Structure 1
Amino acid sequence: MRHHRVFGFVLVAAAGLGIAPALAQTPYDGLWNVTIITKAGSCEPSVSSTLTVADGKISAAGADVSGSIGREGLVRVSINGAYANGQLNGNAGWGKWNGASAGVPCSGRWEASRQ
């Protein structure tokens, strides 16, 4: 009986200290407005989109997006065959991307802000 009381006390104490399991989240989860700016090549000059970050994974409705954001804000993502990397810091982000349009290489920069 004593073991049950000790175990119960440990569980209550752990929950009170925030040691209990929490929902998986990262500091960058949420909706992000992203603007992609072409600096070289024949891709669209500028494209804006909304991306979702959930548990550090990047997704978007109706787009072929895969990627992740590390706890330190390091971004690595593939969007419709283009590749981007960069950094998020607080509610803003920036980086570089490269891809192709009709087989012609394109590249540029991107900027993001949290909604």
Structure 2
Amino acid sequence: MRLNRIGPAFFAFGLSVLATSAAAPAFAQQPYDGVWNVTIVTKAGSCEPTATSTLTVSDGRISASGANVSGRIGREGLVRVSINGAYANGQLSGNAGSGKWNGASAGIPCSGRWQASRQ
């Protein structure tokens, strides 16, 4: 088959895919969007023994006021986030979740577990 015959058909297919994508909503709500209460427990190191925080998930992106947060929650509930230099991962399911975190306090490593519940 000659390349010039494939080109127009492939181009038409590409345009139809783009048109379908453009018609989809730009910010579809994700299954874990909402406000989450998170409790962090230190198991090793010199970080605070416990801490609580409120995080907001919008379109799968994690944010919080007053904190340097970047991260995402996948459609399957997989959590990967960085909060003020600490890193956490875990799993959400329905309105709850848990996982592990690690970071440092005054240069000394610390780590622990976290639990979350949706408000």
TM-score relative to the length of structure 2: 0.79
SS of alignment partner, residue 31 of structure 2? coil
SS of alignment partner, residue 37 of structure 2? strand
Match for residue 70 of structure 1 among 67, 70, 74 = 74
- Identity level (%): 81
User: 1:9-57 CA deviation, whole Å, 9 max, x = no partner?
Assistant: xxxxxxxxxxx63442100000000000000000000000100000000
Partners of 1:21 and 1:80 lie apart in 2 by: 34
RMSD: 0.9
Q: Give the aligned length.
A: 96
Partners of 2:83 and 2:24 lie apart in 1 by: 33
TM-score relative to the length of structure 1: 0.81
Partners of 1:35 and 1:21 lie apart in 2 by: 36
> Which runs of 5 or more residues in structure 1 are unaligned?
1-19
Partners of 1:39 and 1:92 lie apart in 2 by: 21
Match for residue 107 of structure 2 among 99, 103, 106 = 103
Partners of 2:83 and 2:53 lie apart in 1 by: 11
The amino acid that maps onto 1:34 is V
Whether 2:9 is the aligned partner of 1:25: answer no
> Which runs of 5 or more residues in structure 2 are unaligned?
1-22
Structure that is richer in helix per residue: 2
Q: Which residue of 1 aligns with 2:8?
A: none
User: 1:31-85 CA deviation, whole Å, 9 max, x = no partner?
Assistant: 0000000000000000001000000000000100000000000000000000000
